[in-house]
């Protein structure tokens, strides 16, 4: 995607930079689509175990925001710079299809924690003390 011409001619325009990946959105997508895909495989007659591999590709120089705030300008959010072009995160083995998105979130938590380190976090902040995923899917 190219940046608007005004961005190049006049310098940096706030909110015009599209070099951001939003960690909570990426993690929610991983949870949702991992479960949906596993369910689809089972519906096609393919049974577990399944291995889930998550990676970010072609991301060198982008920034991974640690959080999101509705209508916030990405530049104002804390973020970690991505200094590699390719990130491969730990895999998750599904011995059975997760019964719901909450169970799926718990199963892929190690992957989400690993991804969070790319945003300079120790672990994903979207689980409560009981281990439940806290963002809506």
Number of domains making up the chain: 1
* pLDDT at residue 59 in the model: 86
Residue 126 in any domain: the answer is: no
pTM of the model: 0.77
Residue 56 in any domain: the answer is: yes
For the chain, which residues score pLDDT lower than 50?
A: 1-16, 72-74, 76-78
Main-chain phi, psi angles of 136, to 5 degrees: -70, 150
Residue 46 in any domain: the answer is: yes
Residue 130 in any domain: the answer is: no
Residue 53 in any domain: the answer is: yes
Host domain of residue 68: 17-118
* DSSP labels, 75-97: GGS-EEE--SSEEEPPPEEESS-
Residue 45 in any domain: the answer is: yes
Residue 137 in any domain: the answer is: no
């Amino acid at each position: 995607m190219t940046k608007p011409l005004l961005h190049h001619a006049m310098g940096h325009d706030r909110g015009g930079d599209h070099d951001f990946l939003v960690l909570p959105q990426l993690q929610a997508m991983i949870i949702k689509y991992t479960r949906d895909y596993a369910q689809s495989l089972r519906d096609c007659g393919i049974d577990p175990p399944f291995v889930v591999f998550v990676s970010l590709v072609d991301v060198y120089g982008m920034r991974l925001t640690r959080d999101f705030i509705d209508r916030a300008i990405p530049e104002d959010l804390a973020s970690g710079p991505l200094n590699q072009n390719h990130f491969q995160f730990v895999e998750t083995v599904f011995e059975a299809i997760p019964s719901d998105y909450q169970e799926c979130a718990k199963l892929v938590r190690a992957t989400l924690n690993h991804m969070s380190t790319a945003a300079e976090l120790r672990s994903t902040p979207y689980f409560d003390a009981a281990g439940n995923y806290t963002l809506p899917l």
